[in-house]
Amino acid sequence: MTTIHYRQPVFFVSHGGGPWPWMPDYLNTVYANLAQSLGDLLDSVLVRPKAILMISAHWETPEFTVQTALQPDMIYDYGGFPAHTYQVRYESSGSPELAERVVALLEQANIAVATDAQRGYDHGMFSPMQVINPAADIPVVQLSLKKGLDPQQHIAMGRALAQLRDENVLIVASGLSYHNLRMFNAHAAEPSRAFDQWLFETVVEQQGSERNERLNQWELAPAARIAHPREEHLLPLMVAVGAAEGEQATRNYHEAKFMGGLSVSNFAFGELKATS
């Protein structure tokens, strides 16, 4: 029998606001296009992954830290939402085996790494995963960002984890391409459009060292600090780029009038199913 090798792709996705998948008025209106894109994600890969490694904007630690619990609890890291959204569950298991592999790969790359057996799933994980895989039958492990939010360190971390893709692990980086909560309306139309265009030119039209360098200097992009007053929601993209360093990216989700006027995008790296 001939074995066909397949390297899992890498995704950078928007996780949306709070627990939106459990709020039908949001799910079917303002989030309808994002939900369609996330719902198509697993259908776009050629081989169903055995596990998912999720890098969420909502977890920062002094060193890169991997979640090791077999059955992580839920962290309701949002406020002002309906009472029922503080009871939602995403019941996937964790994977101590994958956590151990992440530690080994980072240590081999001389990147300091810690483990956390108590850390639960935050909404940067469970909100998109509720739409990506509502059956929750694929183990998911979260990996933190590193405080300081240095782009090069996160690109290097992604690079060290790229081998997981050859081991049937899907890497999903969860953030937002625009994250200025004080300017989340039509007033942000032009700055978000300018930054989103720069992001497309950087991520899709470049690759390798040139893409890395542009992302390392992301603060020089048009409207950069309007789009990201603090960059924790952009940094998961750096991990995705590091894990797919020499590969072409595609923009697999884009809206120009999200939330009344925002330009936002998601990206995929690597081989996907051909679409008709």
> What pLDDT was estimated at residue 3?
45
pLDDT in tens, 224-251: 999 999 999 999 999 999 999 989 999 9
> What pLDDT was estimated at residue 5?
81
SS3 of 162-211: the string is HHHHHHCEEEEEEECCCCCHHHCCHHHHHHHHHHHHHHHHHHCCCCHHHH
- The answer to whether position 275 is within a domain reads no
Rounded to 10°, the helix 151-161/96-108 angle is 120
Strand partners, 115: 66
Averaged pLDDT score across all residues of the chain? 95
51 contacts: CB under 8 Å, gap ≥ 6: 95, 98, 138, 139, 140, 141, 168, 169, 170
Yes or no: say if 161 and 66 are a contact pair by the CB < 8 Å rule: no
- The answer to whether position 15 is within a domain reads yes
Look at strands 51-61 and 140-146 and give their pairing: parallel
- The answer to whether position 176 is within a domain reads yes
- The answer to whether position 53 is within a domain reads yes
- The answer to whether position 137 is within a domain reads yes
- The answer to whether position 36 is within a domain reads yes
Looking at the chain, the whole-number percentage of residues with pLDDT higher than 70 is 98
What range defines the domain where residue 207 resides? 10-269
Predicted TM-score (pTM) of this structure: 0.96
- The answer to whether position 138 is within a domain reads yes
- The answer to whether position 276 is within a domain reads no
CATH of the domain at 231: 3.40.830.10
Q: How many domains does the chain have?
A: 1
